Structure formats: structure tokens, C-alpha cells
Structure 1
Amino acid sequence: MRILAVDDDHFIRELLPLVFAEAGIPSIDIAASGSEALEMIREAPKLYEFLLLDIMMPEMDGIELCQRVRRIPGYRDTPILMLTAKTDIASIEQAFAAGANDYVTKPFDVKEIANRVHVAQRLFQSAQATPLLDPHGVTEAAPQVPDFALEDSVRLAHTEHMVLPFSLGNYLSQLERNHLGARVVFAARIDHVGPFFASCTSHEFAIALTEVADALAEVIACPELLMAYDGNGTFLCITSQDSMPSWPEIEKSLTKVLQQSGAVYDDGRPMKITVSVGGPMPPNASRTKRVRKTFDRALDRIDRRQKLKLQEEAAERATQRMLKGLTV
């Protein structure tokens, strides 16, 4: 595996080759700065398969470096592991939003680094098989049904704050207990997503998902917001408790933004996209079970929210029929 590690600390640069050698990875390349790393990436005869970036570096920090690397052809999905101080929670969130997949805190041990590298390699291979949807791609000459299932997780090009589901899980699983109270998790889902998906081509569904992701980012308006698309028109979201708007108002705000988006089908028809939002909640306290339990609760809340909306819509239709009958 071709690995590039970047750290301005001379001691860390000497330590990392020993750490990786003990983990069974005998050779890695080392850079002392972001600019040096970018030069090495551009001049490398082959793509690097794993990047290890220190967050706190002078001139160009690891977050900016991560953003720049993601723009380089061939590095959209390369696993990126961040090195960070234990209390640097805001920078960790910004790093994930910039495209990082995982992080370890200093001081770190050999087994932890080795495990993260091997896990990242397996997940990278899995991510490569996940469809990449591009709303700016060429419109299909003839309408085609999506070449993926509604329940499939997909990757979205050109979206801010979006990470892969396993990256969101990595972030959530490693949050320190004293940071849990400052974070909230919630799910958002496209209403009537089954019929809507059936009416779309791959390109049109990419447009819809991107519009929802952009609307969530606009309404939440928090630099630390992280989102992952979980399939079934559902976005799992984590953000700061302080930045979270009032829950009952989020759906109204999303509806307004989506109505103004101007999203259309490939034949020019306007898309009518509405979204339900489940009640936000703090992450589960158990580190070992946090990810599954937290996401399951978020999905349960969005299920209940949409069932309630369906009941309200049915009651509204019944009322309209009754009123119409009285006027006849």
C-alpha cells in the first residue's frame, strides 16, 4: 500500500515509519508541510492509496490540505486519516466536512494506527462500488431507470458537508463523552420517496438528492454540519446543539428553500420535493454501541414523523371531501 504521511513535527515524522513498519507496512513517504505533500502527490508515479494528515500545521493546515487533495483527479475517495489533539473537536468536524474519513488523537499507539489503515482500505474498496451521482453530468439521451435501488447508499458529487456513511460513523464513535451533549443527530427524508424515485432517471434523482443536501446545509447553516446519504431518500445528520434551528420550523424552512430551488426534471417539468425531519436527539452514550443505536433511533424518529404526516394528509383530504359534499 502506498502511504503518504504529512506532519510538521520532526519527532512524529521519525516515529511514523517505525509505527507502520511494526504494523507490517515497511515503507511510507513523509512530507513536512502541506505544500510539500501536494508536490509529492503531483509528481508521484502512482496514486497514493492512503493519506495521513496532521490537522495543526503552519501555513497550510491539514483541513485545507484535505480539501485540495480531494480536488486532485484520482483522490476523490482515497482514505484520509487525520491526526489531531484530543480536545480539537471543532477542527475534527471541519476535517470530516473537507473530506476526511477518520481520525486518531495524539498520543496514538501502533495497534490503533494499523487497525485504522486496514479498516480504511476495506471500506475504500466498498466505497468504490457505490454509485457516484453527478447532478451536473450529461442528461441521458433517452430516459432510463436508475441503475441502483432506492435503498442503496450513493455518493453525491458537488455537495458540501457530505461524507460517506462509514466516515460519519467513525466520527460519531470517537466523540468523547464530554462532547456528546453539544451534538445532536437527526434524519431527514424525501416525502413519498418511493413514487418519486420511480419517476426519476439517475440524473434526475441526483438533482433531487443534491437539492435536499444543499437545502439542509442552508437551513442548518453550521460549518460543523456533517451529513451522509443512507439510501431510501434519507440523510443522517450531525451538527452542533447551539446551531440547530427550532425543530418544528426546520421542515417549513426546507420546504421554502426547495420551492425556490428551481429543480426540474430533464424534460423541464418542475420537481415538487418536500422533506420530513425527525426530532433531533443527542448521540447514544455507549461508545461500543453508539453508532448503530444512535442511527437506529434517528431512523425510527423519521419513520414516525412521516407516518404522522401521512395521517394528517389523509385527514385533510377527508375534510376537503366533506366540505365539497356540503357545497353540492
Structure 2
Amino acid sequence: MRILAVDDDPLFLRLLQGTLADAGYDQVDYSASAEAALDAVRAAEVPFDCFLLDIRMPGTDGIELCRQLRALPAYTIVPILMLTAVIDEDMIDRAFQAGATDYVTKPLKGLELGARIRMAAMLAEQTRQTVCLRQSAGKMQARLDTLTKIELSAELDLAGGPCCLSMPQLHGLLRLLPSGGYNMSVFALRIAEIDEAHAALGPGEFFAFLSDIAKTISERIAPRDHYIAYAGDGIFGAVAFGRDRATEQAGPEAMKYAGKIPTPTAGAKVGPVTLGYNQSAESRLLSGIAGAAALRKALAAARDLKKLDQRRHDLDADRMGARMVVPQRPRLLGPGRPFRPQVI
């Protein structure tokens, strides 16, 4: 163990040298002032393992030196023992507040000093191990959070009810339909606030948030036969089957839910949700292959409109920052089709 002892009394330093040698410590450096001690610390190629500081010294005393040492990254944990000839409770309290590990009274006894140094070193090692474990746990948690973080663009198999499928399952179901024509309505719904929700919610909350929205959409489409899948980026693809006018209106019906979606894990963090609607094919006869193609078209249109909305949002923000007047512009879902968001 490499020790730095600091005291302004040369005679005491000589006595301390013998005491430390008797206690089994022979790697000891000595300084006569706080300034000299700091110079030694800065010049040391290998950090010291322990400090013995006289409390009462002219100029910068031992308490202030202790505080300055604790401010150095390499010495936040190492043992610092204060040396004092008189027990002054107020001074001892200030020494501990400055970061002292323990104190020893003069005149020094080899056995006592050695025991105090060893005990302080054990405490410092336990503290170091605790800090390392906490840092490792923090890094591991950060790693787990990174690994479990749901990417915004990820397709998910949501727990929104029996009509919720994964996107590959929905495409596969359409492609595997027997040959012939099916009366179906194919459309996409997109969450306008998806970026805010993704940033505000943890992985489990975000999954529950999307599942609750899928469940609500399914309830608005029912009782018609239908399937819903999440395509990522806040976009849902849906297919409703039927022969009546209501099937044609399945998409708009999904947007008419009044009130907040019941999201118990996310309701306090995410406000009312706005759904945009893209209908690729109205209720008409389509083969399964054509239905799958119509679904891809609806999803692509929804993604393009999401990107367009983001560009418009960024442009509006730039103009607002420049204090320019930003006129309200209608959001278009396609040629001649205005965007009429509904709060669900």
C-alpha cells in the first residue's frame, strides 16, 4: 500500500515514519504542506492508496486538503485518515463532511494506526465493489432497455383480440384465399401522435397502447368479418368482408369512437389519439391476391402521408421559429380527398 503522509512538523513526520514501519508499511511519501501534497499527487504516476493528513496546518489545513483530494476522480474512495492531537468534535465533524474516512489521535501507536489503516482500506474496497456493482447493474439495465426497446417501424403481433394478426399472417391469409371474388373493404389507419407516444412510453406500455387501439378499431368494425394487423410507424392495415353498405364504411366507422382509448398503462402519458384513414379499395369483388395488393397500396399511402406530415411539421416549426405566418393547410389523403381526423 502506497501512503502519503502530510504534516507541517518535521519531527512528527520522522516519528510517523518509524510508526508506519512498525505497522508494516514502508511505501510512504511525506509532504510538509497541503500544497506540496497536491504537487505530489499530480506528479504520481500511480495513485496513492491512502492518505494521513494532519488537521491543523498553516495555510491550507488538513480538512480543506481532504476536500480537494475527494474532488479528484482518482481519490473519491481511497482511505483518508485525519491526524489530530486534540479531539475537537466540531473539527472532526467538518473533517467527515469533507470526506474523511477516520481519524487517529496523537501520539500515535503502531498497532492502533495499522489497524485503522487496514480497516479504512477494507471499507474503501467494499465501497469500490459496491460502486462497481451498481455501475455494472446500470449498464446491464441500459443494455436490456436497448435490447427490449420497440423500434417505431417494427411490425408487431398485437394482443388486440382474435381478429388481430401479424402483418405476414394477414398477407398470407389473403393470398391463400380460394380463387374467386370476395366483397371486401381494404384500408389503413394511422396514429397521428405515434412519435410522441413512442417517446413517452416504455416497451411494455407502448405494446399495450397499440393493442388497445387495435382492440378499439376491431370493436368499431364488428360484427363484420375483419382482420387487423400492425405495420409499424403507427399504421394499421385492415380488411373487412361483407356484402352490405356497412362493410364499405368499415374504415370510417373505425374512426368514430368518442372518448379516450382505454390504455391503463399509458393513458396518463398519451392524450387523445387521432386516426387518419386511407382506403385503397372500397367494398367490391376482389380476389385474395388483389386484396393483398390493395392492402400493400393502402399501407404505402399511409406511410407516404406520414412522411409528408412530418415534413410539413418540420417546415411549420422552422417558419414559426422565424416568426413567419403559417397558414392552415388541408391534409390530403389522395386526389380530392381531404383528411378529416377523428379523436378516438
- Normalised TM-score (structure 2): 0.41
Higher-Rg member (1/2): 2
Q: TM-score, normalised by structure 1?
A: 0.43
